[in-house]
């Protein structure tokens, strides 16, 4: 979620400014219109994005949150008071942001506040899912059990993300190294060979002349390359923060061969796992869907889940709404229908999450295995053509003697 600033006009004609956290601009607009306000402007709060880079506002790594949750659950299940457990964990944690937050949360509990309210003061550490489960645990008297399950879920999520990212690291390194070799050859090696051929007055093949022209451009405009790279990054970040940009980028991601399928599987893994945990903890279906939807990074998926919530509110079942969702595989709706019939929808959702996790892991392994040789072969051919195009003139020259 991001923080947005907004300007509105009330029914009385007065201008009103404020800020709120939401998934996107559309959600901000919907919430404001529900209050009877006329929206005149919405923007991301840039100041907060800058402050988040400072140590005081930095988030906490997911692994640290998972470990903290598991340790707190163990202490609560052992009969230790929450405040005492927080004080112990505060001394143990090495993350300054988390340590400072735990100190203030513990102080708030001593002053009579609830745990979920105090954690809600730190949305950059404890997200809406976390707060909702803590609130449910406090209300049901099963805080230790729920935190134990949440800790396991967070741990699995971290392991899954690390596995997906790790599988992509080696191909990325190979690609960068090979591209680096080509750039070095174009900028440093080819100009020297070009000067040699010019002195010898050798007739060059067309491929060699093309490479020399590209090399001359890169040498002459070397200063433009880092500027262009930075400019592209800045433009992408700006464009991806606009509503139209996110729609376009997320659509391209979903339609990308193999990668789009992997992204969908990964997001559905997190979504179904989160929804299962929320329902098992006693969170109402509509609230659980709303919270689980925040785990979806793709704006098209998020909006489709928001539409599902509206259909459920009108009386449709979860499986029926998922059947009409064009982004979801049919098997998902059929498995959930079984859960609805047996009254064990949370257990079925957990099985669905494991199914998608298995698919994503298999896709990642296959993609990693396929990408490595493809990248090496393609770039090897490129470097080979480059080398041969400059060896041929030398061979032609020596054969004339």
User: Tens digit of pLDDT for each residue in 167-218?
Assistant: 778 777 877 888 888 888 888 888 888 888 787 777 788 888 888 898 889 8
Whether residue 190 is contained in a domain is answered as yes
Residue 249 or 15, more confident: 249
- Please tell me whether residues 267 and 326 are part of one structural domain: yes
Query: Which of the listed residues 155, 181, 214 is the one where a domain comes to its end?
Result: 155
| Percent of the chain surpassing pLDDT 70 | 93
- Please tell me whether residues 225 and 95 are part of one structural domain: no
Domain span holding position 11: 2-51
pLDDT for 51 equals: 44
Q: How far is CA 353 from CA 77, 275, 332, 348, 358, in A?
A: 27, 10, 10, 9, 9
- Please tell me whether residues 250 and 136 are part of one structural domain: no
Whether residue 163 is contained in a domain is answered as no
Query: Which of the listed residues 155, 177, 210 is the one where a domain comes to its end?
Result: 155
pLDDT tens, 40-73? 777 776 544 444 444 444 568 888 999 999 999 9
pLDDT for 18 equals: 80
- Please tell me whether residues 144 and 203 are part of one structural domain: no
CATH code of 18's domain: 3.10.20
- Please tell me whether residues 283 and 389 are part of one structural domain: yes
CATH code of 369's domain: 1.20.81.30
- Please tell me whether residues 346 and 382 are part of one structural domain: yes
- Please tell me whether residues 67 and 213 are part of one structural domain: no
Whole-angstrom Cα distance, residue 401 to residue 397?
Answer: 7
- Please tell me whether residues 125 and 185 are part of one structural domain: no
Whether 298 and 368 have beta carbons less than 8 Å apart is answered as no
Whether residue 162 is contained in a domain is answered as no
Tokens 């199914």 — which residue?
355
pLDDT for 54 equals: 42
Domain count, the chain: 3
pLDDT tens, 322-332? 998 888 889 89
- Please tell me whether residues 126 and 144 are part of one structural domain: yes
Range name among 4-18, 50-64, 246-260 with the lowest pLDDT average: 50-64
pLDDT for 49 equals: 44
**Residue 374 CA, distance from chain mean position:** 26
Could you tell me which residues come within 8 angstroms of residue 83 by beta carbon, excluding any fewer than 6 positions away? 106, 109, 110
State the pLDDT confidence band at 400, using cuts at 50, 70 and 90. Answer: low
Q: How far is CA 34 from CA 4, 45, 401, in A?
A: 17, 22, 87
- Please tell me whether residues 238 and 193 are part of one structural domain: yes
Query: Does 128 score more than 90 pLDDT?
Result: no
| Percent of the chain surpassing pLDDT 90 | 14
pLDDT for 48 equals: 44
pLDDT for 35 equals: 78
Whether residue 148 is contained in a domain is answered as yes
- Please tell me whether residues 112 and 172 are part of one structural domain: no
Query: Which of the listed residues 106, 121, 155 is the one where a domain comes to its end?
Result: 155
Whether residue 161 is contained in a domain is answered as no
pLDDT for 351 equals: 92
- Please tell me whether residues 34 and 181 are part of one structural domain: no
Alpha helices in 185-284 (DSSP H): 190-200, 206-220, 224-240, 243-255, 259-280
Instruction: State pTM to two decimals.
Output: 0.70
State the pLDDT confidence band at 233, using cuts at 50, 70 and 90. Answer: very high
Nearest to 22 by CA among 215, 245, 306, 272: 306
């Amino acid at each position: 979620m991001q923080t947005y600033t907004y300007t509105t006009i009330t029914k009385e004609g007065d201008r009103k400014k404020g800020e709120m956290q939401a998934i996107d601009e559309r959600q901000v607009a919907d919430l404001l219109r529900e209050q009877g306000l006329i929206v005149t402007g919405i923007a991301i709060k840039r100041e907060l994005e800058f402050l988040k880079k400072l140590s005081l506002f930095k988030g906490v790594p997911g692994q640290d949150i998972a470990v903290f949750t598991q340790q707190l659950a163990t202490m609560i299940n052992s009969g230790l008071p929450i405040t005492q457990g927080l004080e112990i964990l505060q001394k143990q944690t090495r993350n300054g942001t988390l340590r400072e937050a735990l100190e203030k949360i513990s102080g708030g509990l001593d002053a009579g506040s609830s745990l979920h309210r105090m954690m809600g003061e730190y949305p950059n550490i404890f997200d809406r899912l976390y707060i909702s489960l803590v609130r449910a645990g406090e209300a049901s008297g099963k805080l230790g059990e729920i935190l134990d399950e949440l800790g396991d879920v967070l741990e699995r999520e971290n392991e899954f993300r690390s596995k997906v990212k790790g599988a992509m690291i080696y191909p990325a390194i190979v690609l960068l190294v090979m591209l680096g070799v080509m750039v070095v050859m174009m900028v440093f090696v080819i100009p020297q060979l070009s000067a040699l051929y010019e002195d010898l007055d050798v007739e060059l093949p067309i491929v060699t002349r093309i490479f020399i022209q590209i090399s001359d451009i890169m040498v002459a405009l070397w200063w433009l390359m880092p500027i262009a790279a930075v400019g592209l990054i800045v433009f992408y970040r700006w464009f991806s923060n606009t509503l139209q940009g996110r729609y376009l980028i997320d659509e391209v991601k979903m339609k990308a061969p193999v990668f789009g399928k992997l992204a969908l599987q990964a997001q559905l893994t997190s979504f179904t796992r989160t929804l299962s945990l929320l329902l098992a903890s006693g969170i109402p279906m509509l609230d659980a869907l709303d919270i689980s939807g925040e785990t979806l990074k793709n704006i098209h998926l998020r909006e489709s889940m928001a539409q599902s919530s509206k259909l459920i509110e009108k009386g449709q079942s979860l499986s029926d709404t998922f059947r009409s969702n064009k982004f979801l595989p049919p098997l998902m709706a059929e498995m959930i229908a079984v859960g609805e019939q047996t009254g064990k929808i949370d257990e079925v959702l957990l099985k669905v999450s494991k199914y998608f996790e298995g698919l994503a892991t298999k896709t990642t392994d296959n993609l990693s295995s396929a990408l490595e040789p493809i990248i090496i072969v393609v770039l090897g051919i490129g470097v080979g053509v480059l080398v041969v195009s400059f060896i041929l003139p030398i061979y032609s020259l020596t054969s004339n003697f």
